[in-house]
Structure 1
């Protein structure tokens, strides 16, 4: 499954997965946000970070380019946030004894 997800992530944005993973750990330890809101917070943060990358590397010649950048930012942000949550769950489950 991990390989399939990797097909959808731009290689330049893989580092965002690690950033979101550690940000999620920090949010969990800070306890100022409920656990159920951490995934949506990571998703929004991922979209913002990916949006910054997309707008800094894109050339906008028209409305279609802007909409393409918005789409890429949203989809990449969601995928990297999902990967960070997936990695967290793998680590969490690997530490459990059955």
Structure 2
């Protein structure tokens, strides 16, 4: 599965590495292309997952503000709800094409 902006691949992982949460595909940290994500100061805390880290996506000459997010340290109770540890996994907003 790939996450792309235009022709630029920003993440790529096999389907069995993807964790699906609330309709979003979360990619493992190791699948994110180097230099694609830049930390954003946008704050958000999910009531059941915990504190979120947003990222701007740099793809060639394009920049998608707050186009990706991750939960670096999810609440332990979230692991039970999801069934797996998704610490640091990254999901993408509209504007990023996620598919095979």
Q: TM-score, normalised by structure 2?
A: 0.28
In proportion to residue count, which structure has more strand? 2
In proportion to residue count, which structure has more helix? 1
